[in-house]
Amino acid sequence: MHHALEQVCDVIEEQKTYLSELDGAIGDGDHGVNMAKCFREVKKKLSTNQGKDVQSILKDVGMVVLNSVGGAMGALYGTFFLKLAQEAGGRSELHLADLVLMFQAAEKGILDIGKAKLGDKTLIDTLSPAVRCLEKAEKESRFLSDALADFQEAAKKGMESTKEMVAKMGRASRLGERTLGHQDAGATSCYLILRSMAIGLTQDVKT
């Protein structure tokens, strides 16, 4: 998990300009800058907690995110990591069944505080399809690496689907129909996080 979270930090840093450009079209234009600033702090924290169990690492990340990103995104992504931590227990390695419980809890946490639903043009449009995909993989007793590949693909399709939606939440909702044709920045950062975690976890499985 440590490696997977470092991947998240690096990808957010690499994509900060892109995220801010997406946000600039229908929002404040600072999503990438804020996310990069936050995940730089996460990376610093990760360098100090080598060897901790999955739950401790994720809890540390969640607290840094809550305290480093202002507004709704800090609360949403902070909750995301804290709920992952809550379900991780004291495990040092994760199986597909563990990941299903963890991501279900993270999704529920975001739904509870964000109040967005599928189709509202938010990060839920990325997260929920990815979680459904993991659930399906568990029912079908798929290999973890295959399940994570499908998880990434479902997240990507969910992110891309936000181009065809009208924003119903946050600042962008005031623009109404003008948000059509624009990919949501939060859905995009969520995809980058999920993809990076999936890649990192897959590499852990293979080593």
Q: Supply the pTM of this predicted model.
A: 0.94
Mean pLDDT within 179-186: 89
DSSP secondary structure code for residue 29 in this structure: S
Contacts of 56 (CB under 8 A, 6+ apart): 49, 85
pLDDT in tens, 8-65: 999 999 999 999 999 888 888 899 999 999 999 999 999 987 778 899 999 999 999 9
User: What structural domains does the chain harbor?
Assistant: 2-206 (1.25.40.340)
pLDDT in tens, 83-130: 999 999 877 788 999 999 999 999 999 999 988 899 989 999 999 999
Q: How many CB atoms lie within 10 A of CB 132?
A: 16
The CA distances from residue 67 to 63, 76, 115, 155, 173, in Å, are 6, 12, 21, 26, 26
170 dihedral zone (left: phi>0; alpha: psi -120 to 50; beta): left
User: Could you tell me the two tokens for 101?
Assistant: 């419980």
Closest CA to 156 of 133, 135, 180: 133
The distance of Cα 191 from the centroid of its chain, to the nearest Å, equals 6
pLDDT in tens, 130-166: 999 999 999 999 999 999 999 999 999 999 999 998 8
The distance of Cα 155 from the centroid of its chain, to the nearest Å, equals 9
